[in-house]
Structure 1
Amino acid sequence: MLDYQKYIDILDDWIVNRDKTVVAVFIVTTLILSAGFGMTATDSGTSQFTDGVPAQEAFDEVNDNFEREPFGEGTGSTTLIQKDQNVLSKPAILNMLEAQNRLTQRESQDVVGTTSVAQAVAQTLDPDAETLPEQIDAVEAASQSEIKSATRTTLERQPAVAGLLSNDLNREEPSASATLTTVTHEVSGVSSSAGTEGSSPLTPIQQEAEFIVSSVDGDISVFGSGLISAELSSVISDSLGLVVPAAVVLILFFLIIAYRDPFDLLIGLVSLAMAIVWTFGFMGWAGIPFTQMLITVPPLLLAIGIDFGIHAVNRYREERVEDVEPTPAMRTATDQLLPAFFIVTGTTVLGFAANGTSQLGPIRDLGFVASVGIIFTFLIFGIFLPSLKHFTDRQRVRYDLPEFSIAPIGSEDSAVGKSLTIGVTIARRAPYVFFALVLVSTAAMGAYGTGIDTRFTTEDFLPPEENPGYVEVLPEAVAPSEYTVTKQINYLEDTFESGESDTVTIYVEGSLQDGTALEEIYRANQDPPDSFVTAGGSADTTSILTVINRYERASPEFRQLVAQNDQNGNGVPDQNLPTIYNALYDSPYGDRAASYMTDDFTRTRVVYSVESDASQQEVTDDTRAVADEFRMEATATGSVVVLKAVSDVIAESAYISLGLAILASAAFLFFAYWLLERRPGLGAANLIPILLTIAALAATMRYLDIPFNVLTGTTLSIGIGLGIDYSAHLVHRFSEEYRGDVGLLEALDISVRGTGGALAGSMVTTTSGTGVLVLAVVPILGQFGLLIALSVLYSFVASILVLPTSIVIWDHSRGTLGTLLSSSQSRSVN
């Protein structure tokens, strides 16, 4: 057996004989790490989750090669949403033109162009009205009947204009309740990712645009990626503003009950604060940005820190209540707790670190930061807190300061202690029946939990359309902002859905000069899958073929050229393609051709319209199936496909990290108990409650319809880390008690009453501290907080109820195995 005691004795010596030095070192380290706070950047966008995803990489290539801004590179757009009884009336059209004009005249807006129904109608009234002031004059000079006539003409001549009008458009008596206007700004650094950026150069422009547009009559609002980015950033600060005070109040309340001593309470709070400072200071020094996912780290560190703190103080009090002096009492406490803290820290770190296998950077960052934070927590609560506690108690004795309470939680005669022995009673009376019931329940809940859905959308990170009811009663100083983005997104989807359908893209790479290249595109458009929009039996698509067909209708010479090179008469040229391409690029349709095919004829995109009510899964499967029909290299992409790819990565990460966490934790537990106690089987007993907890958590997620997303996808592996915390403390305490003349059930009873009491206090405090995440403005954070709180609750219940039976089964199996081995040896001798 490893003589680990000598290392603990070294730590004991520092803790009890050099406590002032230890405290000073930790304070200096805190000051150094705290400087990292000012270095921490914030990344609140969702595009961070799409980085490195193959579908996003293809999407980036499509945007780089084909998405040419109508006003050139380095531009971004803002959408104006106008609502009115009739946005096609003369007053409404004038209001929209005035809003466009005021934005254009403001130099800071850097407007390079605008597009609206109002402009189109004005230019129908006066084709020479090219500027916004001239268009305003044209509309002011026209009567309402002239405007109606001009609107009908505009809708007939420019069908695309209808896409800027709401679904309730009446073409006969032109009217609509809403319209969209696009304002293009000259600005660099605008992302084309399927997600949203955490910061956007459009944010200040669109925030100013809101102020400018508000000065115009009528109901006109501003919408754009810059405002979405601003709200994403605001959501983080608002969530922290709600969660942190609530967590502090609840944690403080329950810690007062757990410690019942102002000195111990202060020591615990200082240690918790140090764990947070160390972790986030380290992030600043390491250059790791603060994201939405890392909002979850403080509650997790608080969960572990509270547990360690209550255990340290409680175990120390168990000795002090027997009139043992502070120094020997602390030595005894740390002798038992440091190995237990080591086991808990090792398994918890493995649970978090398992997320390092994820393809998504933010999930890897969460695993890494949380793992580092847990190690810091171990150092602070395993060394600093006992040192500070020992120093404080020595000063109490020296200066005769009062002791408020030294009674541990869950003492033998307390109500808490008596209520915690239910599991021991079950283990004494019917261990095998109860164990079989646990195994069946675990298998049943695990099987049910495999049906958890997986989702990833930008809306996951946006606040709800309406703030929760509790927000209304909060003081104005802490109440979150009034959010509008989600409401506008929903309004746009409901109001303009018919004007603009979802699309997917197939990115094709290869020699497009080969005779079969265009035929491949043509064949892929035939017999489209169910999720694709159809037109005349073929897929509703735009591609280089679309541009060729349009130029054919406009140019008899080009039509003849195509016909001469169409061998099978299906309207698709299949020879001399470079000649056709060159003629197309030299025509007025050259720019449009360049938006679908590169000028070296090696890459092209085919854009398909898909049903708006089709699921991500259906659209992605169908798009990939169509891409597989190409002989050239073809990649399915587009925002729908990218988001589904991220969902797949989330699910894959969740299951892989869960499997790794279980295997790594099992290996660590077996090794640790073999190394420390020569009882590796205790590792198996330790795992049983954890497997039950994970199965129950997965079943709860499915029952409550909580999907795997970038946050909740980590809860199962994190649940292992947190759950082992509870069972490891009990198992290690049992191994310490189960020596000499102490019987099995007596050792279990002592362990449950002593350590179980600390576990109860830790559970109540931790579930409250992590559960307050449900107050976060973003529902995804609320789901995560609920699941973490449930994982702690389930872990506690499983440890108290199931672990005693697991240990009894383990002990019986040892005896059975020993008997079998003895019998085998006896037969061999005979």
Structure 2
Amino acid sequence: MIDYQSLIDQVDEWIINRDKTVILIFILITAVLAVGFGMTATDSGTSQFSEGVPAQEAFEDVNDNFEREPFGTGTGTTTLIQRDRNVLTKSAVLAMLRAQHRIQRDTSQNVVSTNSVAQTVATEIDPTATTLSAQIDVVERTPQSGVRTVTRTIVRTQPSVRSRLSDDLNERDPSASATIATITHQVAGTSDDAGTQSGSPLTSLQREATFIVGSTSGDITVFGSGIISGELGGVITDSLIIVVPAAVILIFIFLIIAYRDPIDLIIGLVSLAMTIAWTFGFMGWARIEFTQILIAIPPLLLAVGIDFGIHAINRYREERVTGEDISSSMRTTTDQLLPAFSIVTGTTVLGFAANGVSDLAPVREFGLVAAVGIIFTLLIFGIFLPAFKHLLDRKRVEYSIPSFGTTPIGRAGSVGGQVLGVGVVIARRSPYIFLLVILILTAALGGYGTGVETRFTTDDFLPPEETPGYLEELPEPFAPGEYTVTKTTNYLENTFESSEDDTVTVYVEGSMRQGSTLEILHKTNQDPPDSFVTAERESQPQSILTVIDQYERESASFRRLISAKDQNGNGIPDHDLGIVYDQLFASSYGDQARLYLTDDYTATRLIYSVKAEKSQAAITADTRQLATEIRMESTATGSVVVRKAVSDVIAESAYTSLVIAVLTAAVFLVAIYWLLENRPGLGIANILPVLLTIAGLASTMRYLDIPFNVLTGTTLSVGIGLGIDYSAHFVHRFTEEYRGEVDRFEALSVSVRGTGGALAGSMLTTTSGTGVLILAITPILGQFGLLIALSVLYSFIASIFVLPAALIGWTDIRRQLWIDT
């Protein structure tokens, strides 16, 4: 057992005898850290979550090798979505061509290529029409019947055309209700990836393109990753504009009820504001960008800060109502609460720091910022708030300022005190039966909760297709903007047969000149996995073999070359491949070949179409299996594979950090109670309500179909942090009361009325303040707010009603086995 009282006495001396100096020091630190506010950048994209994932690194290599090189710089694409009664009529074809032409003529758009069904129609009519202006002239001169004849031919003979038309395509009488076109822009340092990049240069390009296209005839929508990126940032901003004022109002109301004194309310609010300022200032100085996952930080700090603040004021009032003077009451308060705050801080920091094992950088940053923020919370509410309270109460007496709410929450005889005492009643009558039921319940909830799904999609961060009516009624500046991305993505998925998410890529590295290389690639088409789209029991990937086959049908000389280099007569060249590639790259098919084979012939890609109804897990497993069967260094990648890989990392991070947090917290609690109180068994009792909270939270997520994602994946570690917060306060108060000859049930009753009352006030304030996140526009914030509120509620219930029985069990074991000596 160590003597920590001397250290607390030194802190007491500063708080009581140098309160003004303490306040001044904290104000100066706040001023220094506040400078960091201006250094804090924001990253609202989703690509940050896939950084470092092998599938994403392969995907970036694919983009570097096959998307950038044809233009010598980074590229990005914009999609034009045209809707009409029939997009294959002459007037609709002209509308699309004119929209593309307007974008191309604008030099700010940096257009390097365009591709559409309308262009295919025009070049089929006149192959010499190689520019958009020439193609417009050709279509204008062609009668409607001529356009109709050409469209009928191309939709029957060209699969690439059909893939750009809606599912309701009628090939006999050519008609379709929608089509898509692609604009490729030259954007330095940018390429389309599996996520969306915050602040993408494409955002401004595509917003400008929307204005340009808006002046053309026809229903044409501009869409792309830049539009998505813009809405990602906008929806988070609008959500916070709605949620933060609502949370502040609710927290303010409940703090008024909890404190019942304007001066105490000011002390609490100033301390909360200082905690937020310190933490975000630290982020700025540490150059940590504010991301979606860090939205979790303010609710966490508010939860712990509100809890610390109410505990400090409530414990101080317990002493004051007995007639103790200001300094004596504050000394007693800090003597009891500083050890409790330190225990809570230690275990909470361990819980959040456990996220440091994650392979995702944003999750590691979350753990770091949360841990630092909790340490700041300890310093501010453990030292600054008592000093501030001590100074103001002295001034209140000096200037005869009246006090208002001076009684503690949950005092004996109050309704709250009676409700909080239910756990003590259970502990008195049948603690072991109750604990057995709790253990069985925890195991059952934990087992059910292991079925929580894991998902990572951009859609998680986007608003619903239809904005709830109550949000549309909000006045300015709270009224949300108009969001279209979700509606557009749903339309694309429901209207067109394939999209980027309906393809996967296998990235193959090695010498492509080896004679067996193309034979190896060809064999991957045979006996394809179940999730792949097939034709005559073979997959039909887009690859360098596709380009070779196309050029072979067009060029007799190339056909003779292929025949000469094909030793087994199956149509696949299997020696002198460098000569084959050289001739292919020198032909008109060279640019197309570079989409699948690098200029140095050391890497290639195969793009497979996959069945839309298959799950992300099934597609990823099949693609990875296919990659392992290729006798070259091969990596499965593509949007579907990257997102599944990130989902796997999220799940692994959530469960790994959970196990580490529970184990380290248990060891810490046993050790700290052994060192401080010589009662190590209290650490085990302390952890029981936390396990119940985590099990209840996980089972709730599964029941409500809330998956683990980049934000909700942190809720288990949050549950540990908040659960230990509540239980540690109660256990430490019990150790203070249960000394000497004091009856254990009386010690429980005093602890429940004192600490339990403060916990109740903290619970009501925090659940209302964080639960208001369900008003957020984006569902992921609503889910997170609900889970945080539930974790606080579950922690409170477990601490008040389960801990008394656990503590009685600990006292019985201690008496019989003498574990604690």
- TM-score with structure 2 setting the length: 0.97
Partners of 2:574 and 2:82 lie apart in 1 by 48
Q: Cα gap change, 1:338/1:444 in structure 2, threshold over 3 Å: closer, same or farther?
A: same
Question: Cα offset for 1:575?
Answer: 3.3
Report the CA distance between 1:603 and its aligned residue.
Answer: 2.3
Whether the 8 Å contact between 1:167 and 1:497 is mirrored in structure 2 is: yes
1:92-103, aligned counterparts within 5 Å? 92-103=92-103
Counterparts of 1:499 and 1:7 in 2: how far apart (Å)? 65
8 A Cα contact 1:74 1:189, kept in partner: yes
Quote the residue 2:801 is aligned against.
801
CA deviations over 1:87-133 (Å, ceiling 9, x no partner)? 22333333333323332333333333333233333444455544444
Deviations 1:531-582 (A, max 9, x none): 0111222112122333333333334444344344434333333333334344
Cα deviations across residues 609-659 of structure 1 (Å, max 9, x unaligned)?
Answer: 211111111011111111111222221111111111001101100110000
- Aligned amino acid, residue 618 of structure 2: E
Report matched runs for 1:655-674 at 5 Å: 655-674=655-674
Equivalent runs, 1:418-497 vs 2, <5 Å:
418-497=418-497
Q: In structure 1, what is the equivalent of residue 227 of structure 2?
A: 227
CA contact (8 A) 1:771 1:786 kept: yes
**Aligned counterparts of 1:715 and 1:42: Cα–Cα separation in 2:** 22
Match in the other structure for 1:783 = 783
CA offsets, 1:657-686, max 9 Å, x none? 000000110011011111110001000000
SS at match of 1:404: coil
Cα 1:639–1:600 change in 2 (3 A) is same
- Aligned match of 1:828: none
- Cross-structure match for 1:304: 304
Distance 1:696 1:501, change over 3 A: closer
Q: Distance in 2 between matches of 1:81 and 1:738?
A: 72
Measure the CA separation in 1 of the matches of 2:479 and 2:686: 44
Query: Who is 1:283 aligned against?
Result: 283
Q: How is 1:323-472 mapped onto 2 (pairs within 5 angstroms)? A: 323-472=323-472
**How many residue pairs get matched?**
821
CA contact (8 A) 2:320 2:329 kept: yes
The 1:132/1:589 distance shift into structure 2, 3 A limit, reads closer
CA contact (8 A) 2:203 2:225 kept: yes
Contact persistence 2:40–2:284 (CA under 8 A): yes
CA distance in 2, matches of 1:323, 1:671: 36
What's the CA shift for 1:743?
A: 1.1
TM-aligned CA deviation for residue 28 of structure 1: 1.4
Query: 1:568 maps to which residue?
Result: 568
- Structure 2: distance between partners of 1:703 and 1:651: 17
Aligned-pair CA distance for 1:218? 2.6
Q: Which residue of 2 aligns with 1:293?
A: 293
Which position in structure 2 is the counterpart of 1:504? Answer: 504
Q: Secondary structure at the match of 1:497?
A: coil
Q: CA deviation at 1:263?
A: 0.4
The 5 Å alignment of 1:29-178 reads: 29-68=29-68, 73-156=73-156, 158-178=158-178
Instruction: Give the aligned partner of residue 826 of structure 1.
Output: none
Map residues 531-542 of structure 1 onto 2, 5 A cutoff: 531-542=531-542
1:501 and 1:611 in contact (8 A); partners too: no
Aligned residue identity for 2:354 = A
Q: Is the 8 A contact 2:501 2:639 kept in 1?
A: no
SS of the residue 2:173 aligns to: coil
Q: CA deviation at 1:723?
A: 0.4
The residue aligned with 1:596 is 596
CA distance in 2, matches of 1:561, 1:128: 28
Deviation, 1:501, is 7.3
Equivalent residue for 2:518? Answer: 518
More displaced 10-residue stretch of structure 1: 417-426 or 95-104? 95-104
Q: Which amino acid aligns with 1:667?
A: V
How far 1:240 moved relative to its partner? 1.2
Task: Map 1:670-709 onto structure 2 (within 5 A).
Answer: 670-709=670-709
Q: Matched residue of 1:166: which SS? A: coil
Aligned residue type for 2:693: T
Change beyond 3 A, Cα 1:582–1:42 = same
Cα distance in 2 between the residues matched to 1:776 and 1:61: 37
Please show how residues 645-794 of structure 1 align to structure 2 within 5 Å: 645-794=645-794
- 1:579 and 1:108, CA in 2 relative to 1: closer, same or farther beyond 3 A? closer
Q: 1:142 to 1:158 in 2, by over 3 A?
A: same
Q: Deviations over 1:331-359 (max 9, x none)?
A: 00000000000000111111111111100
CA distance in 2 between partners of 1:22 and 1:818 (Å):
44
Q: Quote the sequence identity (%).
A: 66
Counterpart position of 1:825: none
Instruction: Please report how far the alpha carbon of residue 699 of structure 1 lies from its aligned counterpart in structure 2 after TM superposition.
Output: 0.8
Distance in 2, matches of 1:469 and 1:683, equals: 49
Deviation at 1:604, TM superposition (A): 2.2
Letter in 2 for 1:18: R
Residue in 2 that maps onto 1:827? none
**How big is the alpha-carbon RMSD for the aligned residues of Structure 1 and Structure 2?**
2.0
1:382 alignment partner AA: G
SS at match of 1:513: coil
Look up the SS of the partner of 2:646 in the other structure: helix
Q: Match of 2:163, SS?
A: helix
Aligned pairs for 1:592-631 (under 5 A) are 592-631=592-631
Instruction: Judge conservation of contact 1:344–1:724 (CA < 8 Å) in 2.
Output: yes
Question: Given that residues 241 and 478 in structure 1 are in contact (C-alpha distance below 8 angstroms), is that contact kept between their aligned partners in structure 2?
Answer: yes
Q: Distance in 2 between matches of 1:731 and 1:172?
A: 78
Give the corresponding residue for 2:552: 552
CA distance in 1, matches of 2:740, 2:721: 32
Residue pairs, 1:240-251, within 5 angstroms? 240-251=240-251
Q: Distance in 1 between matches of 2:420 and 2:673?
A: 25
Letter of the 1:81 partner, please give it: I
User: Aligned partner of 2:650: which letter?
Assistant: I
1:193 pairs with 2:182: no
1:409-466 Cα offsets, whole Å, 9 max, x none, are: 0001111011101111111110111111111111111111111111111111111111
Shift of residue 80, structure 1, vs aligned partner: 1.7
What's the CA shift for 1:787? 0.8
Shift of 1:216: 2.2
CA contact (8 A) 2:533 2:611 kept: yes
Checking the alignment, whether the CA contact within 8 Å between 1:258 and 1:310 is kept in structure 2 is yes
2 CA distance for matches of 1:388 and 1:41? Answer: 33
Contact 2:68–2:191 (Cα < 8 Å) also in 1: no
Shift of 1:499: 7.6
Deviation at 1:467, TM superposition (A): 1.1
Note closer, same or farther for the CA distance 1:500–1:808 as it changes in structure 2 (3 Å cut).
Answer: closer
C-alpha deviation, 1:75, in angstroms: 3.2
Cα 1:616–1:188 shift into 2, 3 Å? same
Counterpart of 2:632?
632
Shift of residue 30, structure 1, vs aligned partner: 1.1
Inter-partner Cα distance in structure 2 for 1:135 and 1:601: 36
Give the corresponding residue for 2:577. 577
- Counterpart CA distance in 1 for 2:546 and 2:401 is 88
Residue 176 of structure 1: how far off its partner (Å): 1.6
- Which amino acid is 1:435 matched to? L
Give the letter for the 2:441 counterpart: S
Please identify, of 547-556 and 751-760, the stretch whose mean Cα deviation from structure 2 is larger: 547-556
Task: Name the amino acid aligned to 2:149.
Answer: S
Aligned to 1:17: 17
| Residue deviations 1:512-539 (CA, integer Å, cap 9, x gap) | 3333322222222211110011122211
For the residue of structure 1 that corresponds to 2:608, the secondary structure is strand
Greater alpha carbon shift after TM alignment, 760-769 vs 460-469 = 460-469
**2:513 and 2:601 in contact (8 A); partners too:** yes
Question: Does the CA contact (< 8 Å) of 2:76 and 2:191 recur in 1?
Answer: no
5+ residue gaps in structure 1?
823-830
Shift of 1:372: 0.8
Q: What residue ranges of structure 2 are gaps of 5+ in the alignment?
A: none
The worse-fitting range, judged by mean Cα deviation, of 799-808 and 521-530 is 521-530
CA contact (8 A) 2:75 2:191 kept: no
Q: Is the 8 A contact 1:748 1:804 kept in 2?
A: yes
Which 10-residue stretch deviates more, 33-42 or 69-78?
A: 69-78
Question: By how many angstroms is 1:498 displaced?
Answer: 4.9
Name the SS for the 1:541 alignment partner. Answer: coil
Whether the 8 Å contact between 2:156 and 2:171 is mirrored in structure 1 is: no
Once the two structures are TM-superposed, the CA of residue 753 in structure 1 deviates from its matched residue by 0.8
